[in-house]
Structure 1
Amino acid sequence: MTATLPYVGFIVEGLIVTVSATLAGFIGAILIGAALSTLISGSNKLRNLVASGYVTVFRALPELLFVLVVYYGLDIAMRALSARIGIATLDISPFVAVTIALAVQFGAYCAEIFRDARSAIPRGLIEAGEAIGLSETKVGARIVLPLMFVNATPALGNLFLVILKVSALASVIGLEEVTRRAKVVAGSTREPFAAFAVAAICFLIVTAIATLAQHQLERRTRFGRGAA
């Protein structure tokens, strides 16, 4: 245990990368999920079919497998592009690869969350907006989207925590996040339990902060609806 203590700061610094990748992937997933839920809820059958197929495929893929596919797939694509335009080989960043993988895959889960949240909006509120002369775009922007995000808050908070834990898979492609750094320290000090215990504490702290923020947000949105 004593051999690991000097490296605690090195492991904790990996939180910056872990949280950054989680936030970037989470925001990307929300944007993709919102777009997909709109397509699924729309009247265009072809778009509905494509969006539903996207959700089905990416919910079925294992997270680790998809991270590897994105990383090595982008690497091949970047090399081919570099050779085609005659420039030095472009390397793909592990951070970019894991962010794209998280956003694309968890966008499918977000789509389901938003679809359920949209269906929970009382139809009367939408009809009231239409009755006072709001266009379909304004009804969506002023009524549907705000209420959809309010209804989706608990599920989105849980999804953020899932993405946070899945981000540890980025260590397999060399991203210097908490788990990767803990593995390096464990190999150097021969104290794997201590190194990974520090990493576990880091994840617990971030999870506790995220959970507290989620509860505060839910309390505020419940208050707003109660006041209405």
Structure 2
Amino acid sequence: MNKITIAIDGFSSTGKSTVAKQLAKHLGYVYVDTGAMYRAVTFYAMENALINDNRFNVKGLVSQLPNIEISFKFSEVAGYAEVYLNGVNVEKKIRTLEVSGFVSKVAAISEVRQKLVDQQQEMGKSKGVVMDGRDIGTVVFPKADLKLFMIASAETRAKRRYDELTNRGDDIKYEDVLKNVQERDYLDSNREDSPLVKAKDAIEIDNSNMTPTEQFDKILSLVNMTLESLE
């Protein structure tokens, strides 16, 4: 049976990772959360005092990139591959609002993007992969068989993110989450290196008013149509 490359791009908190995990599990494909990779580098920078609210030691981070090893290991408990930084599971630690506040700045560094794009292309060279991020359909896999671009209003995305964080016990305010979403939108869309843009051949999915089931069913139908076209 033919296997395809599925590229899912879009703004933060549009449900890219959720549907990508669902698709990968349903199809028996490899799932790669590229956002987690950038979060892992950001967490490394924070832990090594390379970035904080007052400074960002870009040269220091670039010089330490050879020391950063990111990998994914499937978790039977979670039901998906979790991210490891230099052999340590950091899946939960990279999902904080603090990391979210710095990740767009780290992701804008060309050397960081090149290192991670190289790894991502290696992971997907055999197809049978679902990858989500900001530049998958434009930079990582410009020839992907199926490209999706996820959108939703900033307010909807902030509410989803707020609910996710508070449900796990984080003490945060909705207004702070909304501000973070809006700031990330601006930084992701306006960076010089690989800005977030919709690929010309990407199919736009507005899931503002979709349930997770409706979203999955719609996208799975697109996957099946793509597979049928290759037979």
Instruction: Judging by fraction of residues, say which structure has more helix.
Output: 1
Q: In terms of Rg, which structure is larger? A: 1
Same topology, TM > 0.5: no
More strand by share: 2
Q: TM-score, length-normalised on structure 2?
A: 0.28
TM-score (norm 1): 0.28
